């Protein structure tokens, strides 16, 4: 017997997801894959779970062709009927929600409720997309010319390439997949190379729905791989929209490759999110919010709070209360229901954690709590609070994807808003206050410059109904709710002359 977790009775539930010791990492209507074999490891103990055979570039090529072929019939299906397929995908996910959530927990390392929560997000987006399938539309605008109609027509872009990050191995694909499908697009997904089993398990669920409806499976294709497949997608003219979620560093390279071919891109990149606590804040809201948003998912959310700005009048009291709460966070196996805090995803992340702490100390920071790697199997580090750094210290302006919270002390509202906005990233931001004037200044043109601007709630934990994404080095994309569907469609402005004359716009005479 191999040493893979999938062969241990304790993990036999993995087989309910159709997984086995060796899994094909390509799906385009049929399963395949003959590229590099990668082993997926469990971050809580660094034990191997199972293996996935990734796509070769030749298999990528074949998959793109099949996916584009599938578009020809998918685009002809009326949007409400496409919505019905998305509804079935949501239902299929509902049936597997616990077991798929457990896989996310095992493979990514987030706690079980968050793993299930991710699948719930996909389900919610499916529900949202079903409604959307009967609502997508453009306006009929008043034409200045008699006997003319001016209308906006929205069409699918075609093939949507989806590259996702390790930290949301289900939800981010779900946001893109459900909306893109409803809009009439086909999808080609490359998940993170460290969460390939989740990519395979999700694709199996989606593929079964397509196949049961006698639709080409290539409507939702998958090619597991790393930078090689990702680069191929970025450079490929046949990928009509590339939705990329990941670090700003890689996102920038991807954006340049897509721009080089004047392609469309949707970028969801790094964040450096702040909570600002004013003197009038309800500290009973602040403390659990700050702890959830900085410690949750072991600091590995794009919306994790990395900077906590405290008014000087509440600074010491809040630091004391948060440090106390940090010590009570239950650390353990992520799939244990009582655990609130699990491991980092990889050993490299542990190294990044240690390096960031060293830099913070060199730049003048003081450790309030945490700072050490934990003496237990897996990639566990102590959740960490650092005070005393300058608001513009280089480490404070860096997104280190680990549970380190930098606490800053401020005096005035102007100062706090300016510090919020001075970082390169622009994803999420929150203030805690009861001052109504301040709330509206925060929401207004001189307030937060982020895509997500909250009041009296933490920076993380967004709902699917709103448009999700951020400004500046976060990439500017918007996914999920509101009118994000527009990113997955192309707009035609159509003028139809139903008169017998040919009047020109702006009253121009050409006679």
Query: Which residues are catalytically annotated?
Result: 268
Contact of 261 with 237, CB cutoff 8 Å: yes
Q: What CA–CA distance (Å, rounded) separates 21 from 2? A: 9
Compare residues 226 and 388 and give the one whose CB is closer to ligand NAD.
Answer: 226
DSSP code at position 5: G
The verdict on whether residue 414 carries a ligand-binding annotation is: no
The strand pairing partners of 156, in sequence order, are: 489
Judge whether 399 is annotated as a binding position. Answer: yes
By CB under 6 A, tell whether 268 contacts ligand NAD.
yes
384 is in an annotated binding site: no
Closer residue to ligand NAD, CB minimum distance, 85 or 165: 165
* Binding status of residue 231 toward ligand NAD by CB under 6 A: yes
End-to-end CA separation in angstroms for the chain = 87
Closer Cβ to ligand NAD, 83 or 383, answer by number: 383
- Selected from 157, 234, 318, 393, the binder of ligand NAD by CB under 6 A is 234
Within 368-427, the residues that bind ligand NAD by CB under 6 A are 399, 401, 427
Whether residue 190 is annotated as binding a ligand: the answer is yes
Name which of 268, 238, 264, 236 is nearest 250 in CA terms: 268
Task: Indicate the residue among 74 and 488 with the shorter CB distance to ligand NAD.
Answer: 488
Token readout for 399 is 């997104």
What is the nearest approach in angstroms of ligand NAD to the Cβ of residue 271? 5
Torsions phi, psi of 114, nearest 5?
-75, -35
CB of 424 to ligand NAD, least distance (A): 12
Q: Is 246 in the site for ligand NAD (CB under 6 A)?
A: yes
357 Cβ neighbours under 8 A, 6+ residues apart: 367, 371, 384, 386, 404
Q: Kindly give, in sequence order, each residue whose CB lies less than 8 Å from that of residue 72, ignoring residues fewer than 6 positions away.
A: none
Q: How far apart are CA 495 and CA 111, in angstroms?
A: 54
Does position 226 interact with ligand NAD (CB under 6 A)? The reply is yes
d(CA 167, CA 157): 27
Euclidean distance between CA atoms 341 and 336, whole angstroms: 10
Quote the tokens at residue 331: 């650390």
Binding segment for ligand NAD among 104-112, 157-165, 329-337, 482-490 (CB under 6 A)?
Answer: 157-165
Q: Which of 266, 269, 357, 489 binds ligand NAD (CB under 6 A)?
A: 269
Task: Determine if 227 is a binding residue for ligand NAD (CB under 6 A).
Answer: yes
327 three-state secondary structure = helix
Which residues fall within 8 angstroms of residue 506, CB to CB, at 6 or more apart?
A: none
* Residue 206 CB burial class (10 angstroms; 0-12, 13-18, ≥19): buried
Question: What are the backbone dihedrals phi and psi of residue 223, each rounded to the nearest 5 degrees, phi first?
Answer: -130, 105
Q: In angstroms, what is the minimal distance from the CB of 146 to ligand NAD?
A: 48
Residues 424-453 that bind ligand NAD (CB under 6 A): 427
Which window, 59-67, 134-142, 245-253, 332-340, contacts ligand NAD (CB under 6 A)? 245-253
Using CB under 6 A as the binding rule, whether residue 161 contacts ligand NAD is answered as: no
Among the listed residues 75, 97, 250, 325, the single contact to ligand NAD using CB under 6 A: 250
Among 34, 247, 456, 497, binds ligand NAD (CB under 6 A): 247
User: Rounded CA gap, 217 and 28, in Å?
Assistant: 6
Report the binding-site residues for NAD(+).
164, 166, 190, 231, 247, 268-269, 399
Catalog residues that contact ligand NAD under the rule CB under 6 A: 163-168, 172, 190, 192-193, 226-227, 230-231, 234, 245-247, 250, 253-254, 268-271, 302, 399, 401, 427, 470, 474
Report the binding-site residues.
164, 166, 190, 231, 247, 268-269, 399
């Amino acid at each position: 017997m191999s040493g893979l977790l999938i062969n241990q009775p304790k993990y036999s539930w993995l087989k309910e997801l159709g997984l086995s010791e060796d899994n094909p990492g390509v799906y385009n209507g049929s399963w395949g894959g003959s590229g590099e074999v990668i082993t997926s490891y469990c971050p809580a103990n660094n034990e191997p779970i199972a293996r996935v055979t990734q796509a070769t570039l030749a298999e990528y090529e074949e998959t793109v062709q099949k996916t584009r072929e599938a578009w020809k019939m998918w685009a002809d299906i009326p949007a409400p009927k496409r919505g019905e397929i998305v509804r079935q995908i949501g239902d299929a996910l509902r049936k597997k929600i616990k077991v798929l959530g457990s896989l996310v927990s095992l493979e990514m390392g987030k706690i079980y409720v968050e793993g299930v929560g991710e699948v719930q997000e996909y389900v919610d987006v499916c529900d949202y997309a079903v409604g959307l399938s009967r609502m997508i539309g453009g306006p009929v605008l008043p034409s200045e010319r008699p006997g003319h109609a001016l209308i906006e027509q929205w069409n699918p872009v075609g093939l949507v390439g989806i590259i996702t990050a390790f930290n949301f191995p289900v939800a981010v694909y779900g946001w893109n997949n459900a909306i893109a499908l409803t809009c009439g697009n086909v999808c080609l997904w490359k998940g993170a190379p460290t969460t390939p089993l989740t990519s395979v398990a999700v694709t199996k669920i989606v593929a079964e729905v397509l196949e049961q409806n006698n639709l080409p499976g290539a409507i939702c294709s998958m090619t597991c791989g790393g930078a090689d497949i990702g680069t191929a997608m970025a450079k490929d003219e046949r990928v009509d929209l590339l939705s990329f979620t990941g670090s700003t560093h890689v996102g920038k390279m991807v954006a340049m490759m897509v721009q080089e071919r004047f392609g469309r891109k949707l970028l969801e990149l790094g964040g450096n999110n702040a909570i600002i606590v004013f003197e009038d804040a309800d500290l009973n809201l602040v403390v659990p919010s700050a702890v959830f948003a900085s410690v949750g998912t072991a600091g590995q959310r794009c919306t994790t709070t990395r900077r906590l700005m405290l008014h000087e009048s509440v600074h010491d009291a809040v630091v004391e209360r948060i440090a106390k709460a940090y010590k009570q966070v239950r650390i353990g196996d992520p799939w244990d229901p009582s655990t609130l805090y699990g491991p980092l995803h990889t050993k490299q992340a542990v190294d990044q954690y240690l390096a960031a702490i060293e830099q913070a100390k060199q730049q003048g920071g003081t450790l309030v709590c945490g700072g050490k790697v934990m003496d237990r199997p897996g990639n566990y580090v102590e959740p960490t609070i650092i005070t005393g750094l300058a608001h513009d210290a280089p480490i404070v302006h860096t997104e280190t994807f680990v549970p380190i919270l930098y606490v800053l002390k401020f005096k005035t509202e102007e100062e706090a808003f300016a510090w919020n906005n001075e970082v390169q990233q622009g994803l999420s931001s929150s203030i805690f206050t009861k001052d109504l004037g301040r709330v509206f200044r925060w929401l207004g043109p001189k307030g937060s410059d982020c895509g997500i601007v909250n009041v009296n709630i933490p920076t993380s934990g967004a709902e699917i109904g709103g448009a999700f994404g951020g400004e500046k080095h976060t990439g500017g994309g918007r996914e999920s709710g509101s009118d994000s569907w527009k990113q997955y469609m192309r707009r035609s402005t159509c003028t139809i002359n139903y008169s017998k004359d040919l009047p020109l716009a702006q009253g121009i005479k050409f006679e």
